[in-house]
Structure 1
Amino acid sequence: MKLRWLFIGFLFTAVNAAATEIVYQPINPSFGGNPLNGNFLLQKAQTQNAHSAPDSDRSFVDRFREALERNIINSLTRRIADGEIVEGLYDTGEYTVEVVGQPDGSVIVYITHNGSGEQTVITMPSI
């Protein structure tokens, strides 16, 4: 009888010892983890990152030309949207823009890339 009680007591002791609470501890410091892990996680992320920053070593002339092209295209877009049909051929350097007004009031804009010859046609109906 003593052996049976000893066995039951041992069984309850073993069960209590194995039934512990699982505690979640975050690793990332952004979510409450240890702040000392931040440098380690940042280094791992940077080594896995295959992207590189775009080259911004453009010359002043290139930046000026791009700004001038944007300004011309912006001016044309604003005029066409306001209803001022400014027909003609505009050369921005990289693109040639041809604006053609139709008798029904609609506007057709042909945009041609001078380097590749690719052409985009935009038809805007009259308002």
Structure 2
Amino acid sequence: MKKIIILTTLFYPSLLLASELVYTPINPSFGGSPLNASMLLNKAQSQNKHKAHTVEKTYAERLQESLERSYINKIVRELTDLAFGEDPTDNVFGQDSTFISGDYEIKMITSNSDSITVQITNLINGEITTIEVPRFTP
């Protein structure tokens, strides 16, 4: 009996201090504080040992890409000018045109008075994308 009383007096105070376990999430995706997001992302990135495979491009490849970007930008600028009522005689695309750039063929159909049709054909797989741009006349 003496042992039971001693054990009870030893464990009884610890039972009074016990409380229920409360889970507080850390990850903001699961209800945690949004302030933890950058910390968790930094930890994940520091543990990531994978490096993306990069291929160094030659000067000729970079020059070709730059020329193609300039070429496409010029087409878009001219198309926008034509669609928004600029004088078609000043525009490069006053008539239907076809361009080939890399693996793509671009057909500009400007003869329709209501819209401008751009047809982009992938020369490798034959996939065709058609974009119609309405004309806005002042």
Q: Report the Cα distance in structure 1 between the residues aligned to 2:63 and 2:57, rounded to whole angstroms.
A: 10
For the residues of structure 1 that align with 2:58 and 2:123, how far apart are their CA atoms? 21
SS of the residue corresponding to residue 82 of structure 1 reads helix
Q: Check 1:75–1:57 CA distance in 2 against 1; reply closer, same or farther (3 A cut).
A: same
| Structure having greater relative contact order (Cα 8 Å, sep ≥ 6) | 2
Give, in angstroms, the shift of residue 20 of structure 1: 5.8
8 A contact 1:102–1:108 mirrored in 2: no
Q: What's the counterpart of residue 107 of structure 1? A: 116
Equivalent residue for 1:35?
A: none
When normalised by structure 1's length, the TM-score is 0.61
Partner of 1:46: 48
Partner of 1:124: 133
Q: 1:94 touches 1:113 (CA, 8 Å); kept in 2? A: yes
Partner of 1:66: 65
3-state secondary structure, aligned to 2:114:
coil
- Secondary structure of 1:103's counterpart equals coil
The answer to whether the Cα contact below 8 Å between 1:100 and 1:107 also exists between their aligned partners in 2 is yes
Distance 1:121 1:98 in 2: 9
Cα separation, partners in 2 of 1:75 and 1:12, compared to 1, 3 Å: farther
Q: Which amino acid aligns with 1:119?
A: I
Instruction: Give the number of the structure whose alpha-carbon radius of gyration is greater.
Output: 1
Deviation digits for residues 79-106 of structure 1 (CA, Å, limit 9, x no counterpart): 1112256141122233221101143231
Unaligned runs of 5+ in 2: 24-35, 37-41
CA root-mean-square deviation = 3.5
Q: 1:125 to 1:54 in 2, by over 3 A?
A: farther
Q: Judge conservation of contact 1:96–1:114 (CA < 8 Å) in 2.
A: yes
> Would the alpha carbon gap of residues 79 and 15 (structure 1) be closer, same or farther in structure 2, given more than 3 Å must change?
farther
The number of residues matched between the two structures is 105
- Unaligned regions of 5+ residues in structure 1, if any? 25-30, 32-37
**Aligned residues: percent identity?**
22
- 1:14 is aligned, of 11, 23, 32, to 11
